[in-house]
C-alpha cells in the first residue's frame, strides 16, 4: 500500500498543497496531522506507522514534513528501511528508495549522504526560526510592543483570581517567604515574585 503523510505545525496552517501532491502521486491512504515535528511521538504518525508492512511505501512532500530533528529523522528513516518499507520524498527525487532495489548498498549510501545534508538543513532552519522569534520578542520588548501573557493575578482581577491575589498580598505583607506562599497557594514562584516586585514599587 502507498501511504501519504501530510503535516503542518499548527492548526491555522493549510495542508491543501501537500494533499494535492500526495493524491497526484497515487497515495491510497493519506494521514494528516497538525502538530510539531520535533519528534515522532505524534499520534497520527504513530497510528500510520502501526499499519505499515513490508513492501509498503511512505510518501511525504518534503523532509521537513517528515520531521524537524536531525537525529530523530535519521533514526526513524533507518527503522523504516530496516522494515523494508520504501520512502519517497516528492520534492527531492533522489530520496526515493524504490530506485535502488537492484543496487545493493547504493540506496542506503545515497540515503545516508542526502539525509545527513537535508536533516541538518531542516534542523538549522528550525533553529533559525527560533532565533528570529527570540530576537523579535527582544526588539518588541525594547519598544514596549511585546506584552507577553496577560497577568492572571493582579489588583484588577475578578472572582477567584482576585481572591488568590489578595491572599498572596496578605501573606507577603506578613513577611511570609515566597516558597511558603507557593506551597500554600500552589501559585508559581515567578508569579509571586512578580506580585512582590509590584508591591515594592508601589510602596
Where in the sequence numbering do the catalytic residues fall? 9
Reading the block at residue 158, the C-alpha cell is: 475578578
For residue 156, give the nearest of 198, 185, 201, 200 by alpha carbon. Answer: 198
Q: How far is CA 188 from CA 56, 116, 153, 171, 182, in A?
A: 49, 42, 11, 15, 6
Q: Is 25 left (phi over 0), alpha (psi -120 to 50) or beta?
A: alpha
CA distances from residue 70 to 120, 125, 200 in whole angstroms, order as listed:
6, 11, 47
Amino acid at each position: 500500500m502507498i501511504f501519504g503523510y501530510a503535516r503542518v505545525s499548527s492548526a491555522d496552517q493549510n495542508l491543501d498543497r501537500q494533499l494535492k501532491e500526495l493524491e497526484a502521486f497515487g497515495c491510497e491512504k493519506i494521514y494528516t496531522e497538525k502538530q510539531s515535528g520535533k519528534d515522532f511521538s505524534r499520534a497520527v504518525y504513530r497510528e500510520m506507522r502501526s499499519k505499515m508492512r513490508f513492501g509498503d511505501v511512505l510518501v511525504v512532500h518534503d523532509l521537513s514534513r517528515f520531521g524537524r530533528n536531525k537525529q530523530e529523522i535519521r533514526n526513524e528513516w533507518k527503522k523504516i528501511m530496516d522494515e523494508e518499507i520504501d520512502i519517497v520524498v516528492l520534492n527531492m527525487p533522489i530520496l526515493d528508495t524504490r530506485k535502488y532495489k537492484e543496487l545493493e548498498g547504493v540506496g542506503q549510501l545515497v540515503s545516508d549522504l542526502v539525509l545527513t545534508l537535508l536533516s541538518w538543513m531542516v534542523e538549522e532552519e528550525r533553529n533559525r526560526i527560533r532565533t528570529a522569534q527570540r530576537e523579535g520578542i527582544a526588539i518588541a520588548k525594547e519598544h514596549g510592543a511585546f506584552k507577553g501573557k496577560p497577568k492572571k493575578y493582579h489588583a484588577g482581577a475578578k472572582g477567584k483570581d482576585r481572591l488568590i491575589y489578595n491572599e498572596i498580598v496578605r501573606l507577603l505583607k506578613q513577611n511570609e517567604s515566597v516558597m511558603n506562599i507557593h506551597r500554600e497557594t500552589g501559585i508559581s514562584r515567578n508569579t509571586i515574585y512578580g506580585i512582590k516586585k509590584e508591591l515594592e514599587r508601589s510602596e
